[in-house]
A = this chain, B = another copy of it.
Amino acid sequence: MKNSTAARLTRALALSLPFATLMGCAQAPIQLEKMGSFHVGGREVVLSGRPVKEIALTAGGVPAKFDPNGVYQVEQMYVQYFIPKDPRGALPLLMWHGGGLSGVTYETTPDGREGWLNYFVKKGWPTYNSDAVERGRSGFAMYPDIFQTEPVYLTKENPFERFRIGQGAGSYSKDPQRMKLLPGNQFPVEAYDQFTKQNVPRWTSTDAPTIAAYTELVDKVCPCVVIVHSQSGLFGARVAQARPDKVKALVMVEPAATGAVEDATKMKNVPVLAIYGDYIAQDPRWPTIRANGGRYFDALRAAGGNVDVIDLPSIGIKGNSHMIMMDKNSDVIAGIIQDWLVKQRLYK
């Protein structure tokens, strides 16, 4: 086909949107150049002097000699990635979840809507969603041999009462009719059971290897934008201050902890957006957590940093729980993050 013919057809087709469909060129909602996964980080530990056992690993299978002495791979971290066909995010976007959870946090919401992973992939961000060390597909190590503490298992009551869904202690009930909800709460409480299925055991002694693995991830795939939630507020701040040349923006969604005020100058070139939900003043713990965050953000500003802090109720967005990315208005908050990233000139 000659160029002039092509040009004529191009003009004709530009006037005819349905033609793309006719030609089998309809765009799929999610178009990926590639997707896949890998593990980063971790270390080897050698254990010795233990008795050899014989274990039938599969019922009806053939027993295998099982020697617990040897080399163990521990503290690695799982990362799954989705690279859009036509990226519009200027940099990769990394999603780090909170405590007792995994990368599932950012996938489908408990009530079946698309989560932030899909939101940002559809916007064209090359997105890396990870399971922190010892969570989910990262696996966990023997304890107390390798990890120093025992795992923490959460009851169904615990997140309900602690994540500002119910009205604090005693507000959970197995009977949805008897749950005492915070009034106007945006959490999809009808799917609370599905949310608790996403909860995984977690340790309280694994911050150092987790920060090491996230740092290795940043060294591997960044410069980038990092979105953190809850527990990973600590990890995001620590990694960003260690790699301020690589973390080009840090979005902190309800950080349970942040960096140290003394380290604020290390962050002066890392733009930060912090977002908090509703019901903080009436909670037994969140006023302290919010105040700690506030002191850190003040220190970043004093050091010359670019920091935006949004308390959602102050801009008229009410009812958000700690699990903002699952709340019924999750896309509204994703939109706020997206707009802020555009403002930081990180979107093409």
Q: How far is the CB of A18 from chain B (nearest CB, A)?
A: 8
How many of chain A's residues have a CB under 8 angstroms from any CB in B?
102
Contact B102 A137 (CB under 8 A): yes
Q: With A9-B12, A289-B61 as known contacts, state yes or no: A73 contacts B193, CB within 8 Å.
A: yes
CA distance A227 to B74 in the complex (A): 29
Mask for A84-108, Cβ within 8 A of B = 1, else 0? Answer: 0100000000000001101110011
Chain B residues contacting A177 (CB-CB under 8 Å) are: none
Which of B155, B193, B202, B231 is in CB contact (< 8 Å) with A68? B155
Chain B residues contacting A19 (CB-CB under 8 Å) are: 1, 6, 9
Chain B residues contacting A136 (CB-CB under 8 Å) are: 131, 136-137, 139
A345 at the interface (CB under 8 A from B): no
CA distance A271 to B210 in the complex (A): 46
User: Can you give 13 A-B contacts (C-beta < 8 A)?
Assistant: A28-B33, A28-B85, A29-B32, A29-B85, A35-B118, A42-B197, A57-B100, A65-B169, A73-B196, A80-B107, A102-B137, A137-B200, A139-B201
8 Å CB interface, A268-293 against B: 285, 288-289, 292
Chain B residues contacting A56 (CB-CB under 8 Å) are: 204
A4 at the interface (CB under 8 A from B): no
Contact B58 A99 (CB under 8 A): yes
CA distance A73 to B200 in the complex (A): 10
CA distance A64 to B56 in the complex (A): 41
8 Å CB interface, A132-166 against B: 136-137, 139-142, 152-153, 155-158, 162
Chain B residues contacting A60 (CB-CB under 8 Å) are: 234, 257, 260, 292
Q: How far is the CB of A188 from chain B (nearest CB, A)?
A: 13
Contact B30 A31 (CB under 8 A): yes
A315 at the interface (CB under 8 A from B): no
A344 at the interface (CB under 8 A from B): no
CA distance A1 to B18 in the complex (A): 9
Known: A6-B16, A36-B114. 10 other contacts (CB 8 A): A6-B19, A28-B32, A36-B118, A57-B152, A58-B99, A58-B233, A62-B289, A62-B292, A72-B156, A131-B136
